[in-house]
Structure 1
Amino acid sequence: MPPEFSHIDHWIFDLDNVLYPAECDLFSLIDIKMGEYIARALNCDAVEARRIQKDYFHDHGTTLAGLIHHHGTDPQDFLDYVHDIDMSRLSHAPALYSAIAALPGEKMVFTNGDRPYAERVLENRGLGGLFDTIHDVLATDLIPKPEKAAYHSLISATGINPERSLFVEDMARNLRPAKDLGMTTIWVNTGSEWGARDHAPDFIDHEITDLESWITSLH
Structure 2
Amino acid sequence: MNADLAHIDTWLFDLDNTLYPAESGFMGDVERRMTDFVMKVAGLPRDEAFALQKTYLAEHGLTLGGLMKHHGVAPADFHALFHDLPLDVLAHDAGLLAALERLPGRRLIFTNADEIHAVRVLDHLKLDHLFDEVFHIHSFGFAPKPDPVGFARMIAAHGMDPATTAFFEDSERNLKPAFDLGMTTVLVGAHAEASAAPFVHHRTHKLAPFLAGARLKEAA
Q: Considering the TM-score relative to the shorter chain, is it more than 0.5?
A: yes
The 5 A counterparts of 1:1-219 are: 4-191=4-191, 200-218=196-214
Q: Which runs of 5+ in 2 are unaligned?
A: 216-220
**Runs ≥4 in structure 1, deviation > 2 angstroms?**
189-192
Q: What secondary structure is seen at the aligned counterpart in 2 of 1:121?
A: helix
**Post-superposition shift, 1:189?**
3.4
Alpha-carbon distance between aligned partners in 2 of 1:7 and 1:169, rounded to the nearest angstrom: 19
Q: Which amino acid aligns with 1:76?
A: A
Alpha-carbon distance between aligned partners in 2 of 1:213 and 1:155, rounded to the nearest angstrom: 28
Alpha-carbon distance between aligned partners in 2 of 1:179 and 1:191, rounded to the nearest angstrom: 19
Q: What secondary structure is seen at the aligned counterpart in 1 of 2:127?
A: coil
Equivalent pairs, count: 213
Contact 2:137–2:143, Cα closer than 8 Å, also in 1? yes
Q: What secondary structure is seen at the aligned counterpart in 2 of 1:16?
A: coil
Q: What secondary structure is seen at the aligned counterpart in 1 of 2:129?
A: coil
**Post-superposition shift, 1:158?**
0.7
RMSD: 1.7
Q: How high is the TM-score relative to the length of structure 2?
A: 0.91
Contact 1:10–1:160, Cα closer than 8 Å, also in 2? yes
Alpha-carbon distance between aligned partners in 2 of 1:26 and 1:153, rounded to the nearest angstrom: 29
Q: How high is the TM-score relative to the length of structure 1?
A: 0.92
Greater relative CO (CA pairs within 8 A, separation 6+): 2
Q: Residue 52 and residue 84 in structure 1: after superposition, are their counterparts in 2 closer, same or farther (change >3 A)?
A: farther
Alpha-carbon distance between aligned partners in 1 of 2:150 and 2:132, rounded to the nearest angstrom: 18
Alpha-carbon distance between aligned partners in 2 of 1:157 and 1:128, rounded to the nearest angstrom: 20
Q: What secondary structure is seen at the aligned counterpart in 2 of 1:203?
A: coil
Which deviations, in whole Å up to 9, do the C-alpha atoms of 1:171-205 show, x marking residues without a partner?
Answer: 0000000000000000113339xxx8xx6532100
Q: Which amino acid aligns with 2:52?
A: I
- Aligned-residue sequence identity (percent) comes to 38
